[in-house]
Amino acid sequence: MAEGVRARAAALAMLDAVLGEGQMLAALPAPDLPPADRARALRLADATLRALESADRALAPHLRKAPPLTVRNLLRLAVVERAQGAAGHGVVNAAVEIAKRGGKTRHLAGLVNAVLRAVPEGPLPGVQKLPRWLRQPLVHAWGREAVTEMETVFAAEPPLDLTLRPGALAPEGEALPTGSLRLTAPGQVSALPGYEAGGWWVQDAAAALPARLLAAQPGERVLDLCAAPGGKTLQLAAAGARVTALDISGPRMARLRDNLARTGLSAEIVVADALDWSPDGAFDAILLDAPCSATGTVRRHPDLPFVKDGSEIAGLVDLQARLLDRALAWLKPGGRLVFATCSLLPDEGEGQLAAALARHPGLGTERMALPGVDETWWTEDGGLRLRPDYWAAQGGMDGFFIARLRRG
C-alpha cells in the first residue's frame, strides 16, 4: 500500500474507533507505521473530528442515504483533507483505493468516487458546534456568544505551549504574558532546540497557572496530587521544592519519570490511590489537579465531545470533593492548597469551591497577582476561571478553574 494511502487508512481506523466504538484517540495503540506517517494519520483524524459537522454538510447534497459508518468516515476524511489544500485527485484516488481494499466497503468504492468528485473543492462551510450535552450547560454558564467563540477556537489546530526553566535554551516562539512560550508550527517536539538539555517541557499556558498560583518555595514540602503526566511536578521541582508526586496510574507516571530524567529534576514518585494513601507527615503546600470531565481541553482533544456524554460528571464532582477534603487534612497549620480542574463546567469549578468553603469553616481563598492574568478572570469567591475564548486571536487556551485555599 502506498505511503499516503497507509496514513489515510490509519486515520480512517482512528475515526472508526472514536465514532463507532467510543474510544479516545490517546487510548488507541499507535499504528504500525513510520513516525512521519503515524503523525500524519493522527493529524488527519484530528482535523476531521474538528470539522465533522462541516464535512457532513458538504456531503449531504450528494448522498441519498447515509452510507455505513466506515464509508461515511472515509468521505469525511477526504473532504476535510482536500479542504486543507491537498491535491483533489490524489485524495480521491486514495479514498477509492482504501474502499476497494476493505471487504465491507469494496462494493461502495464507486459511490466514494462519485460523491467525492461531485463535492465542490474549497473551504468547508460553517464551524462545528459542540454536542447538546456540553453546549447547553456552557451556554447557560457563559452565554451563547462566548460558546460560539469557543467553538471557533476548537475548530483550529491549537498551537504548542512550553514551560521554560530560567535561562534555558528554547525554540523561537511567541512569549505569552503569563510566561509560557507559544509555537504555532513546532514540528517534531524532540527535535526542537533545548529538548535534550531539558530546559523546557510541553504544557498548555493555562495548565501552567495552578503551580504558579501555588508559588512553591525552595525547601518546602509539596504534594502534587493526581500528578500525571507531570508538567506541574516539573514546575514545583524547578522552584526548588521537595516534591512528592502521586497518581493512581503507573503507565502515566512512567512519562513523569522520563521527563524528570530529561530535565535533571527530582521528585518522590508514588503510584497509589489518593483515597487510600496517607502521607508520613504534613505538607507546606498541595496542588490538587483533580480528575474531571476534561471539557476544557476540547481544543487539544476534539474526540472528547464524541466519546463522552456527560453521564460521568456527577461521579467526578463527588470524587473531587472527597479528594479535596482528604488533601486539606494533610496540610500543615496555615498551609495552602491549590485546587484545579481542566473543566468548563461550573459544577466542577465554581460550585466545587463554594461547597468546599461551606464544608470547612475557616477555609478561605487567596488571590495573587499573576503576570498576564486579567482581573476579570477572577470570580467573586476568589477562584480563577480560564476559558478557551480568552486569547482567541492567539490560539486560545485550555479551560480551567483554579483556586488557592488556605486553612486558618
pLDDT tens per residue, the chain (408 residues)? 566 899 999 999 999 999 999 999 999 998 999 988 999 999 999 999 999 999 999 999 999 999 999 999 999 999 999 999 999 899 999 999 999 999 999 999 999 999 999 999 999 989 999 999 999 999 999 999 999 999 999 999 999 999 999 888 999 999 999 999 999 888 889 899 999 999 999 999 999 999 999 999 999 999 999 999 999 999 999 999 999 999 999 999 999 999 999 999 999 999 999 999 999 999 999 999 999 999 999 999 999 999 999 999 999 999 999 999 999 999 999 999 999 999 999 999 999 999 999 999 999 999 999 999 999 999 999 999 999 999 999 999 999 999 999 987
Helix (H, G, I), strand (E, B) or coil at 380: coil
User: Comparing C-alpha atoms, which of 369, 387, 386, 377 is closest to residue 215?
Assistant: 369
Indicate the SS3 state at residue 98: helix
* Domains, the chain, ordered by start: 3-118 (1.10.940.10), 205-407 (3.40.50.150)
Model pLDDT for residues 8-32, shown as the tens digit of each residue = 999 999 999 999 999 999 999 989 9
Point out the catalytic residue in the list 256, 342, 373, 403: 342
Read off the C-alpha cell for 340. Answer: 484545579
**Distances from the Cα of 195 to the Cα of 189, 267, 286, 374, angstroms:** 8, 20, 28, 31
pLDDT for 3: 61
**Cβ 395 vs Cβ 180: under 8 Å:** no
DSSP state of 311: T
Distance from C-alpha of 256 to C-alpha of 228, rounded to nearest angstrom: 7
Q: Is the peptide bond before 218 cis (omega within 30 degrees of 0)?
A: no
Q: Which of 244, 255, 338, 325 is nearest to 26 (CA)?
A: 255
Active site residue 226: no
Q: Which amino acid is at 144?
A: R
Residue written as grid cell 476568589: 382
| CA pair distance 298, 131, nearest whole angstrom | 12
| SS3 call for 60 | helix
Q: Are strands 242-247 and 268-271 parallel, antiparallel or unpaired?
A: parallel
Beta-bridge partner residues of 174 = 182
Specify the pLDDT at position 54.
96
Q: Output the CA–CA distances (angstroms, integers) from residue 158 to 182, 307, 356, 398, in the order listed.
A: 10, 20, 34, 10
Spacing of C-alpha 204 from chain mean position: 8
